[in-house]
Each structure stands twice: as C-alpha cells, then as structure tokens.
Amino acid sequence: MNDSVLEASPDDAIPLDMAEKVLYQGELYLQAQFASALASDQRAMTTAAFFASVAAAITAGVIAYWDKSAEVSILVAGLSGAALMAVGACICLWAAKPVDFYFPGTHPACWEGVLHRPLNEVLWGEAQNYQDNIEKNAAFLEKNGKLLYRGAMLAAASPLIAIAIWLLLATISPSSPAGAALDGSHSPSSLGASSHTPQ
C-alpha cells in the first residue's frame, strides 16, 4: 500500500466504509506482526538454550581431558570456544528480551476525547496510529532478528575459532603434546623406530 494514502486529512471526508476497511487491514497486520514476534522470541530462546548447553558440555569435556592429560593448549582452546559460544547464546537470549511492542486495538479510555466526533474521522485517525505502530514494530523485529543472527553465527563459529587457537598454541609451543601431535615426533611409529636404532 502506498504510504501517501494515510496522508489524507479529515477534511477530505474519508468514507466510513473505507476507514473501516483500512482500520481492519491495519489490525490484521498488527496481529501478524505479533504472531511473528512470538515465533521469533521462541526461536531465540531455543537457540540460546541449545548453545548454552553445548558450551557447558564443551567446558566439562575439556576440563576432564586437561585433568588427565595436563595439556594446557586443549584447555585454553576449549574454554575459549566455550566462552565464545556462551556469548553467542547470551546475544540470542538478548534478542528475546521484552520490548514495547504495539498490539492491535486500543483502550476504551482512548476514545473518550473523540466520542462526539464523526466516526469516519475517528477511525481514520486510528488507522494512522496503526500505521505508526506497524512501523515501530517492524523496527523492533528487524533489530531483534539481526541480534539473533549475529549471536547464532558467533556461537556456530566458536568451534572453528577454538581449533584455530589450538593450532596457534601448538605452533608457538612445539614441545607441547599438541605440537607433538602436529609434527608426529612423538607418534608410536617414530618412538618404535628410535628404540630400534643401532647404537
């Protein structure tokens, strides 16, 4: 619909049936936005819960591995990845925070000052209010959608970042178990070959 439709003034004598039709369409659009907002919040909370659970599992796993192997690089990389995933989960949860969302309909008290005005003017004015509310709701939905996307991308990328950190630590400290795993100097085959080398 062209936004210029709502720029008509009350003096243009909008027909009552037209004002009712436009108002009804505005109510439908607000109802659709409300349903979309509920679904978006549900997706954000589900995504946040999933990534938070995975982050907790990663943390427990790397701590258990470090306790047995004392490999610091795995501990640092695992905790870094878990922390980034937890941050992504928090961003997803923030996308579901309560906002000043506008619903269809109005309080009866809002009509007290216009009870004696022509009904077509009142309905047309309410349609203009609906248009303002629709635009504000759209801004909320767009902002929260971007937050959910960024949080999910950060959480999904955290395992790759953890692997990159592990490789970096292995490169910096070749003598660590991670470095040995990369260059194969402490592999069973190399150890067996060295043990049978003639003196």
Residue 180 has pLDDT above 90, yes or no: no
What confidence category does residue 1 fall into, taking pLDDT thresholds of 50, 70 and 90? very low
Dump pLDDT digits (tens) for 73-104: 889 999 999 999 999 999 999 999 888 889 88
For residue 84, the model assigns a pLDDT of 96
- CA-based torsion, 24, 30, 31, 32: positive or negative: positive
Distance CA(70)–CA(91), nearest Å, equals 32
Q: Is 155 in contact with 85 (CB distance < 8 Å)?
A: yes
For residue 183, the model assigns a pLDDT of 55
User: What is the phi/psi pair of residue 13, to 5°?
Assistant: 55, 65
Average pLDDT over residues 172-177: 64
Dump pLDDT digits (tens) for 119-151: 899 999 999 999 999 999 999 999 999 999 999
The contacts of residue 33 (CB under 8 Å, 6+ apart) are 101, 134, 137, 138, 141
Residue 9 has pLDDT above 70, yes or no: no
For residue 110, the model assigns a pLDDT of 83
Burial, 24: exposed, middle or buried (Cβ in 10 Å; 0-12, 13-18, 19+)?
Answer: middle
Instruction: Spell out the domain ranges in the chain.
Output: 13-104+114-179
For residue 196, the model assigns a pLDDT of 45
Percent of the chain with pLDDT strictly greater than 90: 57
Residue 178 has pLDDT above 90, yes or no: no
Distance CA(131)–CA(170), nearest Å, equals 58
- CA-based torsion, 35, 38, 41, 45: positive or negative: negative
Taking the alpha carbons at both ends of the chain, their separation in whole angstroms is: 90
